[in-house]
């Protein structure tokens, strides 16, 4: 019996890992990239306090954070066809997961933006920088450093959430495990193997997060700011 299970696992492992690399990881990366873009835009709207757009952003965050991701997947994939809108499973999963995670990441980015001292923004205005230049050279670099750990956690969380895409027929790693289990019926062994592969993926991402935090933390914030303002002031003097 043990030999039979071992044979099943050795046969299933390369298939599961292959789907993990070809489908699960790309699904996570695409969803995270979409979430990052949306979250930055939503956070910037709130930071700039554009009233009409800010209300829309707050409504979006309220709705998305207040409803389960699984329900959102079902609503878009199975519900929209009733209105004549049909989406393929993979792009649907990317869109829904990206929109879902963006609502959480937007609050992270907004908090990071607001953590930057207002005095630095005023100093940027004093030397003649416009709003976009202030955001690019002063606010966003510092905000990214603050938000990096939380954004990295979001990426790790999204890696695990990709398993929910199996519910809308995306043939990712967990769905492939379900297919194999339907043939051999060894749920404990197969799902343990899948869990270990997810654990390996998340461990690699966690190591990358620690490396990134160490790299960002190795540069003194004060020295970076002084270097930035010296470059900007020097540029103004040259003009």
**pTM exceeds cut of 0.75:** yes
- At how many degrees (to 10) do helices 221-238 and 118-126 cross? 10
Q: Which domains does the chain show, CATH number per domain?
A: 2-230 (1.10.3720.10)
In which residue ranges of the chain is pLDDT below 50? 220-223, 225-227, 229, 231, 235-239
Q: How far apart are CA 13 and CA 197, in angstroms?
A: 9
- pLDDT tens digits, residue range 109-143? 999 999 998 888 888 888 888 888 888 888 999 99
- pLDDT tens digits, residue range 47-58? 988 889 999 999
Cα(first)–Cα(last) distance of the chain, in Å?
A: 80
Say what the pLDDT of residue 143 is: 93
Q: Kindly report the backbone phi and psi dihedral angles of residue 67, in degrees, each rounded to the nearest multiple of 5, phi listed first.
A: -125, 145
């Amino acid at each position: 019996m043990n030999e039979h299970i071992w044979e099943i696992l050795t046969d299933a492992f390369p298939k599961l890992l292959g789907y993990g690399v070809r489908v699960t990881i790309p699904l996570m990366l695409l969803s995270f990239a979409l979430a990052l873009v949306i979250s930055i835009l939503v956070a910037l709207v709130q930071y700039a306090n554009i009233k009409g757009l800010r209300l829309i952003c707050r409504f979006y965050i309220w709705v998305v954070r207040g409803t389960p991701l699984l329900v959102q997947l079902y609503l878009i994939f199975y519900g929209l066809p009733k209105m004549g809108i049909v989406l393929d499973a993979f792009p649907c999963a990317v869109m829904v997961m990206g929109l879902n995670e963006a609502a959480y990441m937007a609050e992270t980015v907004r908090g990071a933006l607001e953590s930057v001292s207002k005095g630095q923004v005023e100093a940027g205005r004093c030397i003649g920088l416009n709003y976009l230049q202030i955001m690019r050279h002063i606010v966003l670099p510092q905000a990214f450093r603050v938000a990096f750990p939380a954004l990295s956690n979001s990426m790790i969380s999204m890696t695990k959430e990709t398993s929910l895409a199996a519910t809308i027929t995306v043939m990712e790693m967990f769905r492939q495990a379900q297919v194999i289990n339907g043939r051999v019926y060894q749920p404990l062994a197969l799902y343990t193997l899948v869990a270990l592969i997810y654990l390996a993926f998340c461990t690699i991402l966690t190591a990358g997060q620690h490396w990134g935090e160490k790299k960002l933390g190795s540069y003194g914030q004060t020295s970076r700011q002084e270097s930035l303002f010296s470059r900007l002031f020097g540029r103004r003097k040259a003009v």
